[in-house]
Amino acid sequence: MHWSDKIADQIIRRNPDKEEYVCAAGISPSGSIHIGNFRDIATSLFVVKALHRKGKKAKLLFSWDEYDRLRKVPVNVAKIDDTMEKYIGCPYVDVPNPFGTEDPNYGAYFEREFEEAMEKFSIKMDYRHQAEMYRSGKYAENVILSLKKRKEIFDILDSFRTQAAQEGERDNYFPVSIYCSECHKDTTKIVAFNEETMEAEYECACGHKGHFNFNTDHDCKLAWKIDWPMRWMYEGVDFEPGGKDHASPGGSYDNSRVIAEKIFGIKAPIFQGYEFIGIKGTTGKMSGSSGLNLTPGTLLNIYEPAVILWLYAKTEPTKAFDFCFDDGILRQYFEFDKMYNAFKDGSADERINDIMVNCLMDESKEIKTVPMSLIAQLGSIVDFNVPMMETVFEKIGQPFKADEFGSRLELAKYWLEHCSPENANKLRPYRDWELYETLSEDEKKELSILHAYLKDSEYTLDELNTKLYDIPKEVFGAECPEIKSLQGAFFKFVYKLLIGKEKGPRLYLFLYAIEKERFLFLLDFSTPKTEIELNPPKEEVAEEEKVVYGDPDPVAPVAEEIDLEAFQKPDLRVCKVLKCQEIRKSHSCYKLTLFDGLKERVIVSSIKKYYKPEDLVGKKIIVVANLQPTRITGVTSEGMLLAATNNACGCQVIFVDDIVPEGTRIG
C-alpha cells in the first residue's frame, strides 16, 4: 500500500462521514518557490488522489502566506533594486514589485510564477490569499478569541520553552502583531489594551503612535503558531504536511496542536513531516552568482512533469532524494520509463502501480518513453536537428518520430547546454595530431583498419559492432591474454579522436548512426596537416576565483589549562563524507552528509571557498559529535568538523587516513 493510501485511511477513520476532506499546503512568497517547498504540495496532492480513489470527495487547499512580513531581501531581488531593504517588516502584499511586470506587488509576482508552473503539472488547487482573508475581517472573531485567551496561549507556548519566562512577560504577551498605519510594518508594540472593548494603543519603531480597535480594524496578523491552528479550524483541515523542522519534538506542529485543542476547540489535523530535497551535480548557468534558485518551473526545463511527481511519489516523505543536474538524471528517466512501460502493459507489481497512479495526472495522455540517454548522446552530435534525429533513430532500428521524441529533445538540449555541457558529444572540428602521434604502431594499424572498413564497406549494425571488437584481435591476435584491455584502449582513443573524450555513446551506434562524411576525416591521418592543425587555436579556460592567502597569523598563546575530564567532554569522532551539497542562498556553506559509524548525520560547514564537493566526498574527517544541534542557513547541523584556520592557509580541513574506521573516537 502506498504511503498516501495509509494517510487517507487514517483521515477516513477519524471522520468517516465528512462530506469533503481538506488537505492543505501553504507557502510564503518570499521569493521564487524552491523545489523543497514543492514537497508540501506533492504530499497533499497524493493524499487527495488517494481519497478520490477511495470514493471520497477531497480538495487541495493552498494558502499563500503573503500577509507574512518581508524578513530579508533575496540576492537576485537586491541586484534588481538595492533599496528593497527599506520594506523589511512590511507584508509581501505591501512591498512594491521591483521586476517591472504587471503584477501588483512583490508577493503577487512570485505567486504568478509558481501558479504558472502548477498549470504545467495540471495540479488544481483551491487558493487562499491570507492578506485578503485577514483584511476582509474573515478572521476577526478568531483574532479576538486569541486576544481573550492570550494568557492561556502564553502558558501553552511557555510549556514548550526551555528558558524560564521573565517577570511580567505573560501579562505583556499578545498573540497578534499590528501593522503600523504609517510605515505599514509590524515593528509595533502594544502599550495599552482594553480587555472589554478590544482596543489597543501601540507604538511603532518608526515613531508613530496609533489606536487600534480589533472589532473594526483588521490590519493585523496572528503569530504563526496561533495563525496555523486558527486556519485549521476555519477551513476544516484534515491533513497538512510540513518540513521536518516543524515536525521535530516541541516544534511548530506540537505547539499548534495543543493550541488547536485548548484554544480553538478542534482536533489538530493529521500531520506528516517530510525530509528536505537534495541537489546532485552542479547547475551551471542555472544558478549563477545569486545562488541556487531551483523552482518547479526551472526543473521543468529538464524534467517532464510526470517524472518530477514520480520522484516525490516513489519516495516516503521522511526520506530524502536528489534532483540530478549531472548524468544521474538519465538514470532517473530510465527508471521512470521502465516503471511507466510496466504500468501501461499490465506487468507492474502493486508498488509500481501505486506510484504511477499518483504521478500521472492524466492517465489517458500517453508518455513517449524514448530513451533520454540516447536523445542526449546522439542529439548533441547532430546539433539537435529533428530530421537528422529521425534518420539516426531509423538507422539504429528504433524509428522514433519527432512527435515522439520532440518534447524530450528540448529537455535534453537544455540539460546539456545549461547543466551538463561535459556530457555533450561534439565532433572535433579537425584531426587530433597530438594524440595520433602518441599512438604506438600497432594502435595506428588498428586505426587504419577501422578507417578503411568504415570508408569502403557496407555493414549492418551488428556487423559493425562485431568488427569493432575484432580489430584489436586482428592486430594483436585473438589469443592475446590482454585482449580485453587492448579492446578497451582501442575504444578510448577512437572516442578521443572523434569527440575529445574517452567515453561517449555506444561506439557502434555512434559510427552507424552518424553520416560518414561528418567524421571519417577525423580518423584519416594519411594526408598532411592543414593550416588549422598546424596552428590549433588555444582553448579558453575560465579562470576560477582563487583564494588569496596572506602572512601567517601571530601565534596565539596557549589557552588556559584544563584537566583530563574537561578534555574528554568533546566527543571527537572519525566520520566519512557521503555527500557534499550546495545550500540554497548560501555563498560559503556546504551541507555535508556523514556516516559516523552508527548513523548518518548532517553538518553545515563554511568551507565552500576552499573545497569543491569532489574534494570531500569519500574522505574521512574529524567531527565534534556531541555538539548541540543548531540551525545554520536553514539546515540543522549536527556537529562541527575540525579544521585549521590561518591567514596563511585559509581554512584547511583535517583529514584522517582511510584505514581508520568510521566512528573511531579521537583522544
Residues 58 and 212 sit within 8 Å (Cβ to Cβ): no
Find the mean pLDDT for residues 364-369.
Answer: 90
* pLDDT at position 32 over 90: no
- Cell 587504419 sits at which residue? 448
pLDDT at 465: 93
- Indicate whether this model's pTM tops 0.85: no
Q: What is the DSSP code (8-state) at residue 425?
A: -
User: SS3 for 352?
Assistant: helix
What is the CA 305 to chain-centroid distance, rounded? 15
pLDDT at 363: 82
pLDDT at 64: 96
Q: Which amino acid is at 150?
A: R
- CA R_g for the chain: 31
Chain-wide mean pLDDT for the chain? Answer: 91
Interatomic CA distance for residues 142 and 139, integer angstroms = 5
Interatomic CA distance for residues 360 and 370, integer angstroms = 17
pLDDT at 567: 87
Task: Output the DSSP codes for 405-472.
Answer: HHHHHHHHHHIIIII-GGG-----SS--HHHHTTS-HHHHHHHHHHHHHHHH----HHHHHHHHHHHH
pLDDT at 293: 63
Interatomic CA distance for residues 449 and 467, integer angstroms = 10
What are the cell numbers at 229? 491552528
Q: Which residue has the higher pLDDT, 593 or 547?
A: 593
Q: Which residue has the higher pLDDT, 658 or 266?
A: 266
Instruction: Give residues with Cβ within 8 angstroms of 93, minimum separation 6.
Output: 66, 67, 105, 106, 107, 108, 131
Find, among 326, 321, 329, 283, the residue nearest to 304 by Cα.
Answer: 329
Residue 380 exposure: Cα atoms within 13 Å on the Cβ side: 24
Interatomic CA distance for residues 548 and 620, integer angstroms = 26
Strand segments, DSSP code E, in 284-326 are 322-324
* pLDDT at position 598 over 60: yes
Centre a 10 Å sphere on the Cβ of residue 84 and count the other Cβ atoms it contains.
Answer: 18
pLDDT at 52: 97
Q: Which residue has the higher pLDDT, 423 or 493?
A: 493
pLDDT at 180: 97
CA distances 609 to 141, 333, 637, 648, 649, Å, are 52, 33, 19, 15, 12
Instruction: Give residues with Cβ within 8 angstroms of 416, minimum separation 6.
Output: 376, 379, 380, 423, 424
Residues 468 and 491 sit within 8 Å (Cβ to Cβ): yes
pLDDT at 196: 95
Our CA dihedral for 104, 109, 115, 120, rounded to 10 degrees, sits at 120
Find the mean pLDDT for residues 581-610.
Answer: 88
pLDDT at 544: 56
* pLDDT at position 114 over 90: yes
Bridge partners of residue 621, in order along the sequence: 575, 655
Bridge partners of residue 620, in order along the sequence: 576, 656
Element (H, E) at 147: helix 140-148
Residues 259 and 303 sit within 8 Å (Cβ to Cβ): no
pLDDT per position as a tens digit, 239-297: 999 988 787 888 899 999 999 999 999 999 999 999 888 888 754 434 333 344 678 88
pLDDT at 558: 85
Instruction: Give residues with Cβ within 8 angstroms of 654, minimum separation 6.
Output: 621, 622, 641, 642, 643, 644
The widest CA-to-CA distance across the chain, in whole angstroms, is 101
Bridge partners of residue 178, in order along the sequence: 220
User: SS3 for 194?
Assistant: strand
Interatomic CA distance for residues 265 and 236, integer angstroms = 12
pLDDT at 284: 44
CA distances 223 to 36, 140, 252, Å, are 24, 14, 11
Q: Given pLDDT bands bounded at 50, 70 and 90, which one contains residue 540? A: low
Find, among 298, 323, 327, 274, the residue nearest to 25 by Cα.
Answer: 274
Find, among 140, 85, 130, 126, the residue nearest to 107 by Cα.
Answer: 130
Find the mean pLDDT for residues 138-149.
Answer: 98
pLDDT per position as a tens digit, 184-209: 999 999 999 999 999 999 999 999 99
Residues 271 and 573 sit within 8 Å (Cβ to Cβ): no
pLDDT at 593: 93
Bridge partners of residue 63, in order along the sequence: 26, 128
pLDDT at 499: 92
Instruction: Give residues with Cβ within 8 angstroms of 492, minimum separation 6.
Output: 502, 503
pLDDT per position as a tens digit, 303-354: 999 999 999 999 999 998 989 988 899 999 999 999 999 999 999 999 999 9
Interatomic CA distance for residues 496 and 277, integer angstroms = 37
Residues 360 and 306 sit within 8 Å (Cβ to Cβ): yes
Per-residue b/e over 557-588, b at no fewer than 16 CB within 10 Å? Answer: eeeeeeeeeeeeeeebbbbbbebbbbbbbbee
Residues 95 and 82 sit within 8 Å (Cβ to Cβ): no
Q: Which amino acid is at 129?
A: H
Instruction: Give residues with Cβ within 8 angstroms of 325, minimum separation 6.
Output: 279, 280, 281, 282, 283, 284, 286, 302, 415, 419, 420
Find the mean pLDDT for residues 403-428.
Answer: 89
State the burial class of residue 541 (Cβ atoms within 10 Å of its Cβ: 0-12, 13-18, 19+): exposed
Find the mean pLDDT for residues 423-441.
Answer: 92
pLDDT at 291: 41
Find, among 298, 297, 292, the residue nearest to 279 by Cα.
Answer: 292
Find the mean pLDDT for residues 375-398.
Answer: 86
Find the mean pLDDT for residues 50-76.
Answer: 94
Residue 551 exposure: Cα atoms within 13 Å on the Cβ side: 2
Strand segments, DSSP code E, in 225-347 are 239-243, 270-274, 278-280, 322-324
Find the mean pLDDT for residues 373-397.
Answer: 87
- Cell 524530450 sits at which residue? 408
Find the mean pLDDT for residues 379-403.
Answer: 87
Find, among 645, 603, 643, 606, the residue nearest to 626 by Cα.
Answer: 603
Bridge partners of residue 602, in order along the sequence: 593
- The terminus-to-terminus CA distance of the chain in angstroms comes to 49
Residues 578 and 619 sit within 8 Å (Cβ to Cβ): no
Share of the chain above pLDDT 90, in %: 69
